[in-house]
Amino acid sequence: MRKKLILLALIGLFLSGCGQSPSVAVLDMERLAKETGLEKISSDLLDKTREELQAGLQAQQEELKAQVTAQQEKMSDPPTQEEMQQLAELSAIAGRQLQQAQQKANITLQQLGRNLARQFRAQIQPHARRVAILRGMSLVLQDDRNTVFVALPEIDITDAVITEIKGVTIELKAEKKDTPAQEESK
């Protein structure tokens, strides 16, 4: 699919160089996000979620530490071999639970980032489409610097899309999910 888009873009660039009106447009989503403030909104949502997840992880770590400490306090003096083995098993289980919770938190943040990007694209798409149609362009490529090698200024519609969405409210939302500690306590 990506190769087809690149091929279409190259054909569009070739045709625009032959004196015909360009039919390919390029939209710099990164610049669009920065100039409309959506990058900051997205970053703030990610930071808030990261802080909530970190607080949940911290609470879970303290709870697991308290369980290990409680087990230590139940041990005889001097502890038996069996008590030491139980404590080591409990510590290993606690470590695995904390590691799993950290992995879940990382996955949650990655999913949120992808979800925010998807929301952003979905809300920008109708505006980019309108600008492209008004300019007689039939294909809009996202300029992510990895896909688009060369983009001539006349096919870049980023400024026009920014102007198009100036008065429009675009919302990005983070779905509320339980933190790893809340999930473990259920």
How many percent of the chain have pLDDT more than 90?
Answer: 45
How many percent of the chain have pLDDT more than 70?
Answer: 78
Q: Is the dihedral angle over the CA atoms 142, 148, 153, 154 positive or is it negative?
A: negative
pLDDT, average across residues 76-89: 91
Residue 154: Cβ within 10 Å count: 12
* pLDDT higher than threshold 80 for residue 151: no
pLDDT band at 5, cuts 50/70/90? low
What pLDDT, on a 0 to 100 scale, did the predictor assign at position 9? 57
34 with 150: CB under 8 angstroms?
no
pLDDT, average across residues 164-170: 82
DSSP 8-state secondary structure symbol assigned to residue 139: E
